């Protein structure tokens, strides 16, 4: 038996399920010889079967010794959770032939079984990890309160001591333990579990964090908002600390929680991150968090977008700033944050985004109008690849064309860049479908400028947005496309519209 057993135990962990089945069959035969019993095919538990298994168990213990018996039975029990049904069935038959009372035997072999489970969880092999997780859940269901005090501290210790594969395995095990436990059972260990899951969510390994999010979901389903109340304030405090490594870990944890519960958490977190004056760490956090909450963050655009645009506008209004370099860094952080939000929001939120930005295009302050134009530029640049904003193109065109008659040079420059971004990021064949709309908007704006109170009437009028270096450049590709490739109606509209642009542009700006 000393020569045969090690080979059979090794075969139980083989990647080929057929070898695992063969090893189980031979192990069953060996244990049957030692215990004087046979592996039955029928799935019955008669009194005779139980008495026979009781005698076999005693004889096997004498033949193998206590340590070897625990090791073999632990391997056998682990095989009952195998990914292959034929292996599970074979393992159950062998188990029943040599074990009379499963809960009692599990309590006897528990320490060895937990060691084997942890080893399998830490193996880095997805199949073995899955088997170990299932087995752990099965033990918790069978033994409950008797086993949790032994399992949870072992999993906790391995999370802090192990490599990334061990930590991933621990998360799989924790998820199974939580999923198979009752609310009352988990409540006794909630303090430990909250800390362990929080630390796993903050892990530097992305795979560990993804698996920890599953643990968090199971824990939340079991105990509700209590887990949020214990984790979120602690993570927010760490995010606002001075240590960079701690901040990164806390942000990882917060992002993991938000990937599962963004709808519940964003109303709590967004106001904290938008607290003025905006700090670089908060802006970086908001940008990162938007990546995990793309489907729900648009519900908070009414507070996020105005705050970011007004903050950008405040940099333009500053003069004699004591630390100019620091303010430049903050301004860059705001721009990166707004771009991240534009990039990460899902398609359903794009119209909310453009609507919020558009509302600032007519603001009384020129600095706000300028940054609103830049924000529209950021939207079309960040959404260029997904191209999911085309339905909102008329809204963008309307806001940008209205700024062509702005009385501020800084707004006109920002507007010109935004129009350039629109015509370079949106194909000309798409924009040309709006050529009549563009022509009507410009005609309406010119008419209003001519005939409103104080207007020039029928006298000479030049639209400020076109009467600047490269003022006409953004719109020319649209008219060119219409004239060259449009149908008769489009060609006529494009030619007439281009003629109207020429009449409101001074000669020196027509020359290029």
Name which residue leads in pLDDT, 197 or 163: 197
Q: What is the pLDDT of residues 80-97, one digit of tens each?
A: 988 899 998 988 888 888
pLDDT range class, residue 456, cuts 50, 70, 90? low
Assess contact for 82 and 91: CB atoms under 8 A: yes
Closest CA to 411 of 445, 365, 447: 365
Please report how many Cα atoms fall inside a 13 Å half-sphere around the Cα of residue 456, on the Cβ side. 10
Rounded CA-CA distance 349/299 in Å is 8
Q: Is 224 left (phi over 0), alpha (psi -120 to 50) or beta?
A: left
Helix-strand-coil split of the chain, %, nearest 5: 75, 0, 25
Position 42 scores a pLDDT of 44
Q: Which range (60-64, 472-476, 496-500) has the least confidence?
A: 60-64
To 5 degrees, how large is the angle CA 222–CA 224–CA 228? Answer: 125
Rounded CA-CA distance 98/57 in Å is 5
Which class for 195: exposed (0-12), middle (13-18), buried (19 or more C-beta within 10 A)?
Answer: middle
Position 263 scores a pLDDT of 87
Closest CA to 373 of 344, 348, 398, 340: 398
Q: What is the pLDDT of residues 284-337, one digit of tens each?
A: 989 999 988 888 999 999 999 999 999 999 987 765 555 678 888 999 999 999
Position 483 scores a pLDDT of 93
Share of the chain above pLDDT 70, in %: 94
Check pLDDT > 60 for residue 40: no
Which of 146-155, 226-235, 342-351 is most confident?
342-351
Name which residue leads in pLDDT, 277 or 425: 425
Q: Can you give the pTM of this predicted structure?
A: 0.77
Beta-carbon contacts of residue 114 (< 8 Å; ≥ 6 apart):
150, 151, 154
277 cis-preceded (ω within 30 degrees of 0): yes
The H-or-E segment that residue 505 falls in is none
Identify the DSSP state of 404.
G
DSSP one-letter string for 57-89: HHHHHHHH-HHHHHHHHHHHHHHTT-SSHHHHH
Q: What is the pLDDT of residues 170-223, one digit of tens each?
A: 888 888 888 888 888 888 888 888 999 999 999 888 889 988 998 999 898 888
Check pLDDT > 50 for residue 425: yes
């Amino acid at each position: 038996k000393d020569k045969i057993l090690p080979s059979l135990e090794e075969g139980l962990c083989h990647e080929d399920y057929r070898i695992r089945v063969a090893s189980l069959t031979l192990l069953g035969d060996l244990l049957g010889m030692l215990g004087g019993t046979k592996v039955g095919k029928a799935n019955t538990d008669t009194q005779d079967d139980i008495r026979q298994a009781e005698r076999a168990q005693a004889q096997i213990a004498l033949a193998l010794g206590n340590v070897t018996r625990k090791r073999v039975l632990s391997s056998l029990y682990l095989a009952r959770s195998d990914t292959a049904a034929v292996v599970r069935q074979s393992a159950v038959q062998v188990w029943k032939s040599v074990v009379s009372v499963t809960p009692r035997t599990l309590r006897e072999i528990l320490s060895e079984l937990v060691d084997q489970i942890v080893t399998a969880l830490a193996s880095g092999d997805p199949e073995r990890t899955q088997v170990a997780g299932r087995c752990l859940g099965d033990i918790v269901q069978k033994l409950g309160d008797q086993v949790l005090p032994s399992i949870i501290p072992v999993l906790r210790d391995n999370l802090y001591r192990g490599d990334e594969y061990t930590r991933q395995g621990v998360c799989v095990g924790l998820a199974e333990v939580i999923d198979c436990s009752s609310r009352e059972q988990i409540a006794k260990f909630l303090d430990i579990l909250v800390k362990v899951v929080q630390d796993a969510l903050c892990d530097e390994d992305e795979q560990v964090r993804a698996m920890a999010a599953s643990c968090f979901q199971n824990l939340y389903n079991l105990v509700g908002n209590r887990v949020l109340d214990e984790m979120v304030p602690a993570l927010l405090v760490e995010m606002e600390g001075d240590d960079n490594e701690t901040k990164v870990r806390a942000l990882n944890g917060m992002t993991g929680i938000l990937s599962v519960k963004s709808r519940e958490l964003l109303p709590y977190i967004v106001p904290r991150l938008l607290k003025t004056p905006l700090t670089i760490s908060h802006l970086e956090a908001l940008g990162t968090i938007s990546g995990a909450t793309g489907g729900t963050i648009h519900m908070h655009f009414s507070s996020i977008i105005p705050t970011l645009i007004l903050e950008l506008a405040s940099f333009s209004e500053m003069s004699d700033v004591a630390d100019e370099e620091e303010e430049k860094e903050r301004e860059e952080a705001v721009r990166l944050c707004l771009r991240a939000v534009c990039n990460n929001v899902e398609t359903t939120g794009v119209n909310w985004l453009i609507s919020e930005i558009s509302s600032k295009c007519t603001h009384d302050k020129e600095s706000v109008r300028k940054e609103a134009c830049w924000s529209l530029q950021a939207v079309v640049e960040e959404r260029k690849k997904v191209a999911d904003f085309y339905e909102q193109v008329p809204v963008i065109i309307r806001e940008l064309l209205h700024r062509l008659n702005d009385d501020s040079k800084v707004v006109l420059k920002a507007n010109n860049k935004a129009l350039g971004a629109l015509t370079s990021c949106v194909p000309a064949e798409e924009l040309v479908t709006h050529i009549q709309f563009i022509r009507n908007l410009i005609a309406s704006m010119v008419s209003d400028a001519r005939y409103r109170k104080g207007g020039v009437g029928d006298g000479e009028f030049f639209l400020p947005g076109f009467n600047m270096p490269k003022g006409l450049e953004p719109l020319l590709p649209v008219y060119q496309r219409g004239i060259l490739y449009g149908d008769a109606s489009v060609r006529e509209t494009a030619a007439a519209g281009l003629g109207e642009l020429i009449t409101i542009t001074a000669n020196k700006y027509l020359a290029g």
